Structure 1
Amino acid sequence: MRSHALLPSTLLLLGSLFLTAACANGSGLPDPAPEPVQAGPSSSTSRTVDPSKIKGLEIVNDSSEQSSCPFAISYPDVPGAEAMTAAMKKDVDRLVASFRSNRCGTGSLSAGELNVSHRFLVASGDVLGVLLTTVDGSGAGNGQSTSTYWYDGEDGAYRHALGLIADGSRDAFTAALKKQLRGREGVDPTYLDDAFADTTHRADLLDDLSFTADGGLRVQLDSGTVGASAAGSYVVSLDKATITPWLSSFGRRAQKQTEQPSSGLDLGAPSTPSAAVPTHTASADDDTDCKRVKCIALTFDDGPAAPETATLLNHLARYRARATFFTVGQNVAAHPELVRAEAKAGHEVGNHSWNHPDLTKLTPEQVAYQLGRTSTAIKAATGKAPTLFRPPYGAVNAKVKASTTLSPVLWDVDTEDWKYRDSAKVAQAVISKARRNSVVLMHDIHPTSVAAVPELLRTLTTEGFHFVTVSHLRATL
């Protein structure tokens, strides 16, 4: 599968522990605020981690454009933390397989998509922490769940979230969580007792633990674990003084690196040269007159991806071809240097949302957040905000259009390159379907799609086609 390519809540402060009940929001996707809103003087959020500072980082991406089987997954691959990457891959592969079994091929278009997105919790010293958020519309309830993954560079080992807590302290830790959950609105006493009764299942129940910026610990329990699914998820936060005595040695290092991040991440991985970022520079504005010559717009979704996008830029430069890249915000954050290279070479950079959800299933505020956050990242990388967006899965309606000033872009030539990982087949799909003023859909996260580009450029150039951006095509028709 490897392709290189929460909500309003009420804080209840009880001694040194406070609990936030997070209610489901219908879409199952994060609310417009990056972090759940927490009231009260003791609330604290996690620190922001800049993924572009992680040397050698690659993002594992995969997606489907099939309306009856829509999914998009994304998780990081960090040099030195291969065991953690393998754990994420195993879990994500299982989710995709289950989704395909339950949802795909049923003919039903009413269920939602599968979306797995990532966020770095800490990447400092010898500690790496990642949060994966999953929304699975094929099951009951809101389908949202979260898990954290940890890597201990000192021991060279992947750590489950519960590994932050010392073995001898786990009974006291879970007893404190249970005490604070009991009696809360929506918590079912039977669910609660059953959930914590079997210590062998603790790791499954307590799989989302992360530190706040002030050293406290945040524990999120998925909906349906301690109450009915409709009650939503619960967040229990413990302040630093309470949690510190219960931490394992790794937990204390993770706490320290979250509170006081060092200047970099060192997991002991061999130093490898970073892939070269293309330096192609557009000599001037494109003066192609699409009223007089045959034009075609190649578009590439879901990137940027390292090293695939860099390879693609080199292919395009050899034919002086311009293209439009519809980028995903979380990938822009990881590889802003590739987005800068796209713009510098005269290509157009468009918006493809932050983490590839079906925008028609979101509230107007969520749509605005998905697109606005991505536009901000693109502008930070290139100095210019995008004017176009491509809705994931091509799903767009009046609500989505009204939630943004960006102009939507669909396509008339679908290579289905996400389905067919065959460069010859992808190239032939473009060559056989290309018409004057066509907009072609491809993905630069797939090596096979990138490998198809030289052949289609060579063939269509001999047929008299000129390769332009979407905005240029629109402006000159």
Structure 2
Amino acid sequence: MRKNTLLSSLILVGSLALTAACASGRSGTESGQGGATASSGSATDDQGVDPAKIKGLDIVTDSSEHGSCPYAAGYPAVPGAEAMTAAMEKDVQQRLAAFLGTDDGEQATDCGGGADSGSGQELNISHQFLIASGDVLGVRLSTLDRGAAGDGLATRTYWYDGAAKAYGPPLGLVADGARESFTTALKKELKGQEGVDAGQLDEVLDDSAGRSAVLDDIAFGTDGGMRVSFDRGEVGVPAGGRYAVSFSKDTITPWLSPFGKRAQQQAMHPSGTLELGATDAPEEPVPTHRASGEDTADCAKVKCVALTFDDGPAVPEAATLLNHLAQYKARVTFFTVGQNVAAHPELVRAEAKAGHEIGNHSWNHPDLTRLTPEQITYQLNRTSEAIKNATGKAPTVFRPPYGAIDAKVKAATTLSPVLWDVDTEDWKYRDAAKVAQTVIAKTEPNDVVLMHDIHPTSVAAVPEILRTLTARGYHFVTVSHLRATLAGR
């Protein structure tokens, strides 16, 4: 899998609250949509982790922008934790292959598995940093597959021990000799809960393979307690929802492995820096181009086109694209994804300083029409806040993922929606020449063109687009400038 290419994009499903019980243990269900808050990203935010401070961080991401094949995916690649990155990549590729209907994860030109806007299918995979401090890295991937049984929500945590330079499963947080006591305590808390199947619980937790499979979401709270979460149907009837057990710090500490104890300490008292022993985590160059004055093109009198780029910023594509645009003094609109803005605020800042418009593309690329009004507001407001923190200016426009918008979405925000006139389908066709030819052949005056700056092939198409359309007399402007100058027509 190439960097910034997942074959599909996944929705940010958010995170589960990592609250710990005051008693020795506490269990409960997360019923309904379990889910429901988790799928919006409106549960607890990352535990104080600032991804922008992780040197060399790359968010590997991909997505479509078409309702006939709604997918989005993103996971972090952290220098020094390559084995953990490989594990996440493998899991993501398998889910993408199943969704797209491919056997080997190769790029598909459609959703082979039959996903379309009428079938109700959508795949979204997002990430949350649990710990990125000292020599401990913890990440949760949340997957929402609306075509799957139940609520389609699955979560898994990944852990990396920088001291041992080793990736391990979540159960590695618990010492080998304490796992029987740990699982016995889990059973005690879960049995008797409405919907829990005692026989199923014994079967999965008494078998080593089954135990590893279901104990795949384990994390610490900031108070040192531990929360163990189960996907719907893993330990009870699907209708029972998701289950979780929380242990207090005093209860869980004696059961922890040496790595588990270090992870617990970093959750409680983060050192503020991540040191995994990476030897090659170079700082990506950030262009320093600045816009020279305001854009004076009057699109009511001259030919204009608004190029728009979705899903970024991405490394190193953003810097390459900014250099291309500077050569032609072209201005464009970037519809950024919040979790990528949080990881690379310096790139968003550089885009704004170069005279480009920064728009909102949600926090993790879900179909907003499938969310509640509160979830929609959260997705957009959290992204707008990240953009304002990076640039000093809040966005005024947004692009709904997949172009999916309805009255509910419009009512949940004051941002102005922006769709497109020319769809390059560059998420489907990773061919720079084809992308360039599509734009050149289809663009007419005052069109809005949809592209993605997360794909190297799309960025590579930009010089030919700029060169050819400039020769035809086109001016490259932001969406808001285009609208403003055409307002009186």
Normalising by structure 1, report the TM-score.
Answer: 0.94
Match of 2:93? 93
SS of match in other structure, 2:101: helix
- Within a 5 Å distance, the mapping from 1:177-192 to structure 2 comes to 177-192=186-201
- 2-side partners of 1:110 and 1:28: how far apart? 20
- Within a 5 Å distance, the mapping from 1:246-257 to structure 2 comes to 246-257=255-266
**Matching of residue 141 in structure 1 with residue 150 in structure 2:** yes
Question: For residue 89 of structure 1, what is the amino acid of its counterpart?
Answer: E
- Within a 5 Å distance, the mapping from 1:348-367 to structure 2 comes to 348-367=357-376
CA contact under 8 A between 2:20 and 2:223: conserved in structure 1?
Answer: no
- 1-side partners of 2:137 and 2:115: how far apart? 41
CA contact under 8 A between 2:46 and 2:129: conserved in structure 1?
Answer: no
Deviates more, 1:333-342 or 1:24-33: 24-33
Match of 1:39? none
Question: For residue 219 of structure 2, what is the amino acid of its counterpart?
Answer: S
Deviates more, 1:448-457 or 1:188-197: 188-197
Match of 2:179? 170
Match of 1:344? 353
Match of 1:150? 159
Give the Å deviation of 1:64: 1.6
Question: For residue 473 of structure 1, what is the amino acid of its counterpart?
Answer: L
Give the Å deviation of 1:271: 4.0
- 2-side partners of 1:201 and 1:281: how far apart? 57
Give the Å deviation of 1:186: 2.3
Normalising by structure 2, report the TM-score.
Answer: 0.92
- 2-side partners of 1:243 and 1:119: how far apart? 23
- 2-side partners of 1:234 and 1:7: how far apart? 14
Match of 1:205? 214
C-alpha spacing 1:346/1:304, structure 2 compared with 1 (3 Å): same
Question: For residue 95 of structure 2, what is the amino acid of its counterpart?
Answer: L
How far does the alpha carbon of each residue in 1:25-49 deviate from its partner, in whole angstroms, 9 at most, with x for none? 287562667436xxxxxxxx97220
- 2-side partners of 1:405 and 1:59: how far apart? 29
Match of 2:26? 18
CA contact under 8 A between 2:132 and 2:138: conserved in structure 1?
Answer: yes
Give the Å deviation of 1:262: 1.1
CA contact under 8 A between 1:332 and 1:339: conserved in structure 2?
Answer: yes
Question: For residue 250 of structure 1, what is the amino acid of its counterpart?
Answer: F
- 2-side partners of 1:160 and 1:273: how far apart? 29
Percent identity over the alignment? 64
Question: For residue 128 of structure 1, what is the amino acid of its counterpart?
Answer: L
Give the Å deviation of 1:283: 1.5
Give the Å deviation of 1:346: 0.7
- 2-side partners of 1:314 and 1:414: how far apart? 23
CA contact under 8 A between 2:363 and 2:380: conserved in structure 1?
Answer: yes
**Matching of residue 431 in structure 1 with residue 446 in structure 2:** no
Runs of 4+ that moved beyond 3 A: 5-9, 11-15, 26-29, 31-34, 102-105
Match of 2:130? 121
Match of 2:84? 84
**Matching of residue 268 in structure 1 with residue 273 in structure 2:** no
SS of match in other structure, 1:440: strand
How far does the alpha carbon of each residue in 1:418-467 deviate from its partner, in whole angstroms, 9 at most, with x for none? 11111111111111111000100000101111111011101110010000
Give the Å deviation of 1:2: 3.1
- 2-side partners of 1:46 and 1:469: how far apart? 33
CA contact under 8 A between 1:68 and 1:105: conserved in structure 2?
Answer: no
- 2-side partners of 1:304 and 1:374: how far apart? 13
CA contact under 8 A between 1:8 and 1:22: conserved in structure 2?
Answer: no
Give the Å deviation of 1:272: 3.9
Match of 1:233? 242
C-alpha spacing 1:446/1:329, structure 2 compared with 1 (3 Å): same
Give the Å deviation of 1:55: 0.2
Across the two proteins, how many residue pairs are aligned to each other? 468
How far does the alpha carbon of each residue in 1:295-327 deviate from its partner, in whole angstroms, 9 at most, with x for none? 000000000111111110111011000000000
CA contact under 8 A between 2:42 and 2:378: conserved in structure 1?
Answer: no
Question: For residue 256 of structure 1, what is the amino acid of its counterpart?
Answer: Q
- 1-side partners of 2:276 and 2:22: how far apart? 38
Match of 1:62? 62
Match of 2:295? 286
CA contact under 8 A between 2:331 and 2:478: conserved in structure 1?
Answer: yes
How far does the alpha carbon of each residue in 1:154-173 deviate from its partner, in whole angstroms, 9 at most, with x for none? 11111111110111111110
Unpaired segments ≥5 residues, structure 2:
6-13, 103-110
- Within a 5 Å distance, the mapping from 1:40-55 to structure 2 comes to 47-55=47-55
Give the Å deviation of 1:345: 0.7
**Matching of residue 317 in structure 1 with residue 326 in structure 2:** yes
Question: For residue 156 of structure 1, what is the amino acid of its counterpart?
Answer: K
Give the Å deviation of 1:14: 8.1
Match of 1:40? none
Unpaired segments ≥5 residues, structure 1:
37-44
CA contact under 8 A between 1:12 and 1:19: conserved in structure 2?
Answer: no
Give the Å deviation of 1:354: 0.4
C-alpha spacing 1:358/1:191, structure 2 compared with 1 (3 Å): same
Question: For residue 415 of structure 1, what is the amino acid of its counterpart?
Answer: T
- Correspondent of 1:258 among 261, 267, 271: 267
Give the Å deviation of 1:187: 1.6
- Within a 5 Å distance, the mapping from 1:326-345 to structure 2 comes to 326-345=335-354
- 2-side partners of 1:131 and 1:462: how far apart? 49
- Within a 5 Å distance, the mapping from 1:346-425 to structure 2 comes to 346-425=355-434
Question: For residue 272 of structure 2, what is the amino acid of its counterpart?
Answer: S
CA contact under 8 A between 1:46 and 1:211: conserved in structure 2?
Answer: no
Question: For residue 64 of structure 1, what is the amino acid of its counterpart?
Answer: S
- 2-side partners of 1:14 and 1:406: how far apart? 42
Match of 1:73? 73
Give the Å deviation of 1:210: 0.7
Match of 2:8? none
C-alpha RMSD of matched pairs (Å)? 2.0
- 2-side partners of 1:27 and 1:395: how far apart? 21
CA contact under 8 A between 1:2 and 1:61: conserved in structure 2?
Answer: no
How far does the alpha carbon of each residue in 1:42-73 deviate from its partner, in whole angstroms, 9 at most, with x for none? xxx97220000000000000112232321100
How far does the alpha carbon of each residue in 1:118-166 deviate from its partner, in whole angstroms, 9 at most, with x for none? 0101111111110100001121111001000011111111111111011
